[in-house]
A and B are shown apart, each in its own frame.
Chain A
Amino acid sequence: MSIDRDQDLLEPGTASTGINLPPPLTETRTVATTVLTEDIGYIRKRARNLHKETGELHQQSHYTEWNARTNQRGQATTQDMLEELADLGFAWRDLAKLVGVSVPAIQKWRRGEGATGENRQKVASLLAACDLVAEHYGIQEITSWFETPMQLGVPVTPIALWASGRPDLVFDFASGHTESEQILTAWDPQWRDRYRSDFEVFRAGDGHLSIRQKER
């Protein structure tokens, strides 16, 4: 899948040598956030090209790529996108949670009933995120990765992060640059206390999973 990252309305254009550029306007700068208006301003665009020629100092945000992939994925029908997610191994109830709708809604879309544009976009963005995570971070079993708790003994999965509106934490976790404990803390500062339990699940004599008090 090719992604056009360099589409830029403000390239100098045809036979532009000798055409005066508009004067640059100064900008209120940020530190903790990146405002993605790099395509405004001729001077900044030229600086960016030179920057790339001298070597990448910053990793380009994958949010730009996520957006591009979402647009591409969004060209398919909701029904087809859902089938593709199911082929990856997602459970329908997890897809419902990830998209923020009920299981019956997902079942309707599977039968070909229409989804709103907003919901279609959400399905496309989930599929695009799966593509991105699998491709950039080498995660082979993407659904299994989404369903597996991030930390032993803590039942929080990337599904929970995504469903609560934190795709940033999902991408962070996938990249491996941030420890899972930090990600859990960013999501829920009380996670250690919340999931501490005096009970544990074990396999009982009849072969079924059961609950018992933990040994002290």
Chain B
Amino acid sequence: MEKREVYPNAPVVLVALEVRHTTADLLTSAQRNAIKRRLSSHAPIMKTGQLQQLTVVQAVGGPSAAPELRAEEFPRYFSRDNTVSVSLRAEAVVVETTRYVRWEQLRTLVADVLEVRQEIGGVDGVERVGLRYVDEIRIPGGPEQDWASWVDLTLLGPAQVSDELDLAATQWQGVSAFTPGPERTVVLRYGPREGFAVDPGGDLKRSTPAPGPFFLMDIDSFWTPSEGVPEFDVKALLATCDELHAPVRRLFERLITDRLREEVLRRVD
């Protein structure tokens, strides 16, 4: 196992893995229960999820069509402490955790989920695989911190010229897309924010500090096939997930300062 430091005060609040696939048949009640038994060591609590999708089509220069509302019902599986969730939608498998420690642990769960999905119900092809890390970097000093001390200057954008121009930069939002390899993209969304990046009112329990300023680093590493629709093969998918994971930590480490590491991430309360 590659040795990567696990920070006692890591800023990651959510890690999500999504495998989008061709539309599969709805899972029957018997299939859902079979999946529940197979996933019981990870996520023994089964619930039903519902999503409503609103589609609006607006023609250029013309009136918009009546919006279409579609409801989808699907099984969801939760850990007892509500920090892990597995959702099996008609066209996606989504694994989420708010208690991420290291990739190898999440990978074990993902492997079990993908295997059971392939065996029960079946999926024909894969359209996208995404691995997303959402970090809320919070500094204990309160709202008066200067972000330049804590994150790389490249994340501060034009805010760096604030003093020079006597223009106080109070907000900025950035999106950068990187291409680590064929068919792969890493999108970094970043910037200072207030409150929370991941809603504490969601179905997964997450640590909920007092709302206040934080620096967002939302790293979304994904793969989309350039040709055709590859088979839903667990081994291949796990290899893809490993490739998606590889640049994430490197990017995060490069974009934070030693001061953040020492004074915040390695802090033990």
Asked whether any CB of A lies within 8 Å of a CB of B in the complex, the reply is yes
Q: Which residues of A contact B (CB under 8 A)?
A: 9-10, 25-37, 39-40, 47, 50-51, 54, 57, 61-64, 66-68, 70-71, 74, 116-118, 120-122, 124-126, 128, 165-168, 171-172, 186, 189
Question: B195 near A: Cβ within 8 Å?
Answer: yes
Residues of B within 8 A of A54 (CB): 54, 56, 67
Q: Does B123 contact A (CB under 8 A)?
A: no
| B-side contacts of A31, CB under 8 Å | 49, 51, 76, 85, 87, 89, 94, 96
Using an 8 Å CB-CB cutoff, how does the interface string of B201-217 with A read, 1 for contact, 0 for none?
11111111011100010
B207 lies within 8 A of A168 (CB)? no
Contact A125 B211 (CB under 8 A): yes
How far in angstroms is the closest Cβ of chain A from B217?
Answer: 11
Structural contact, A67 and B16, CB atoms closer than 8 A: no
- Interface contact B56-A47, CB-CB below 8 Å: yes
Do A37 and B218 touch (CB < 8 A)? Answer: yes
Given contacts A39-B173, A121-B143, is CB(A25)–CB(B187) below 8 Å?
A: yes
Q: Which of A54, A68, A117, A122 has the most C-beta atoms of chain B within 10 angstroms of its own C-beta? A: A117
What CA separation (Å) do A120 and B210 show in the bound complex? Answer: 10
Inter-subunit contact A118/B142 (CB<8 Å) = yes
Closest A-chain residue to B141, C-beta based? A117
Q: Establish whether residues B201 and A62, one from each chain, have CB atoms under 8 Å apart when the complex forms.
A: yes
Any chain A CB within 8 A of the CB of B198?
Answer: yes
- Confirm or deny: B197 has a beta carbon within 8 angstroms of a beta carbon on chain A: yes
A-B CB contact pairs (8 Å), 12 listed:
A25-B175, A28-B132, A31-B94, A35-B197, A37-B197, A116-B141, A118-B140, A121-B142, A165-B208, A166-B208, A168-B205, A168-B208
Q: Looking across the interface, which residue of chain A has its beta carbon closest to that of B219?
A: A28
Known: A32-B96, A120-B142. 4 other contacts (CB 8 A): A30-B18, A30-B132, A37-B216, A66-B195
Bound together, the chains give a CA A128 to CA B210 distance in angstroms of 10
**A52 to chain B: closest CB distance in Å?**
11
- What is the minimal beta-carbon distance from A171 to any residue of chain B, in angstroms? 7
Known contacts A33-B16, A50-B67; decide if A28 and B220 are in contact (CB<8 Å).
yes
Q: Is B82 interfacial (CB 8 A cutoff)?
A: yes
A146 to B185, CA, bound (A): 48
Within 8 A of A (CB), among B57-87: 58, 64, 67, 69, 76, 78, 80, 82, 85, 87
| A197 CB to nearest B CB, Å | 25
Is B114 in contact with chain A by the CB < 8 A criterion?
no
B164 at interface by CB-CB < 8 Å: no
Cβ-defined contact, B51 with A63, below 8 A = no
Q: B232 in the interface, Cβ–Cβ < 8 Å? A: no
Asked, given contacts A33-B204, A116-B142, whether A63 binds B87 with beta carbons under 8 Å apart, the answer is no
Question: Is the Cβ of A168 less than 8 Å from the Cβ of B49?
Answer: no
Given contacts A26-B222, A51-B54, A116-B142, contact A33 B171 (CB under 8 A): no
